[in-house]
């Protein structure tokens, strides 16, 4: 074992003694930091192929890698492609809610590793990473923006620059929670603006968020980025809401 490896191994021992590794979802003890226990793993609905080439939603078996879902056939999103790690349901939903509401900023570091594995090829084509912004009034209540945490952790992992302030939310939009597809689109239309066009002009942008629902927010952000001169926008999220049924 090299000296560096010895130091690293010793570091792991110290870390494990101070903070025994726990399942990110339920807190049960596990072998190593940043993972989930077998039971929780089994309850996370990881997104598997085939998926819609554009929005990344799981679709019925098809014979082409470029197949689109019904919604994307009717209208292509402003972003090029969106991908997510797991479905926003069961244990996956709990993970996102913990990241969002509990004081678990450490989770962003681990979960961004999952995103980096899922979006490896997308990240490879990225020039700059931009999080979906939160309006300052909501940020003031919550103290941190989980999308910005994920974006920053992805930047550290990938070595790609992060522009956390490239986009801004012009107005506080009402919660998207109870809204349907069309209402969501109206709710966020024009809500975002590129505050620092020089950070994104002529660049391929990776937009990062925690959850993709109908894609209305990702679309509105992508339009603002493209309007400010971005070459293309891809989207990487932790979770996405599955199609009904
Ligand atoms: Zn667990
Ligand atoms: Zn689609």
Q: Do 180 and 86 fall into the same domain?
A: yes
Q: Do 55 and 153 fall into the same domain?
A: yes
Q: Do 55 and 165 fall into the same domain?
A: yes
pLDDT tens across 80-105, in order?
999 999 999 999 999 998 888 776 77
- Quote the ligand 2 centre to 235 CA distance (angstroms): 13
- Quote the ligand 1 centre to 95 CA distance (angstroms): 10
Neighbours of 121 (CB within 10 A): 10
Which strands sit side by side in the sheet containing 232-240, from one edge to the other?
Answer: 82-87, 232-240, 204-212, 128-131
- Quote the ligand 1 centre to 25 CA distance (angstroms): 5
Residue 192 phi, psi dihedral angles, 5° rounding: -115, 150
Structural domain boundaries enclosing 33: 1-42
Total domains in the fold of the chain: 2
Q: Do 24 and 101 fall into the same domain?
A: no
Proximal ligand: closest to the CA of 37: 1
Distances (CA, A) of 208 to 80, 139, 141, 197, 220: 14, 17, 21, 17, 13
For the cut 70, the answer to whether the pLDDT of residue 8 exceeds it is no
Least confident of 47-61, 114-128, 166-180: 166-180
pTM: 0.87
β-sheet bridge partners, residue 83:
236
- Quote the ligand 2 centre to 58 CA distance (angstroms): 9
Q: Are strands 232-240 and 204-212 parallel, antiparallel or unpaired?
A: parallel
Q: Are strands 167-169 and 192-194 parallel, antiparallel or unpaired?
A: antiparallel
Proximal ligand: closest to the CA of 21: 1
How much is the mean pLDDT over the chain?
A: 86
């Amino acid at each position: 074992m090299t000296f560096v490896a010895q130091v690293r191994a010793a570091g792991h021992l110290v870390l494990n003694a101070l903070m025994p590794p726990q399942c990110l979802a339920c807190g049960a003890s596990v072998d190593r930091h940043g993972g989930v226990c077998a039971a929780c793993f089994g309850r996370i609905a990881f997104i598997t192929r085939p998926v819609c080439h554009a929005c990344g939603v799981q679709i019925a078996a098809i014979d082409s890698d470029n197949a689109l879902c019904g919604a994307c056939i009717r209208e292509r999103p402003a972003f090029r492609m969106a991908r997510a790690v797991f479905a926003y349901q069961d244990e996956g939903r709990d993970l996102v809610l913990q990241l969002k509401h509990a004081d678990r900023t450490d989770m962003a570091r681990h979960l961004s590793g999952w995103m980096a594995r899922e979006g490896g090829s997308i990240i490879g084509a990225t020039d700059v990473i931009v999080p979906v912004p939160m309006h300052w009034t909501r940020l003031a209540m919550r103290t941190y923006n989980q999308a910005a945490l994920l974006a920053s952790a992805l930047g550290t992992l990938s070595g790609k620059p992060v522009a956390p302030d490239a986009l801004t939310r012009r107005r506080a939009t009402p919660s998207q929670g109870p809204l349907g597809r069309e209402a969501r689109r109206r709710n966020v239309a024009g809500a975002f603006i590129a505050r620092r066009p020089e950070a994104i002009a002529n660049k391929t942008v990776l937009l990062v968020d925690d959850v993709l629902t109908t894609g209305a927010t990702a679309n509105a952000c992508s339009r603002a980025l493209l309007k400010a001169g971005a070459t293309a926008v891809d989207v990487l999220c932790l979770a996405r809401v599955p199609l009904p049924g």
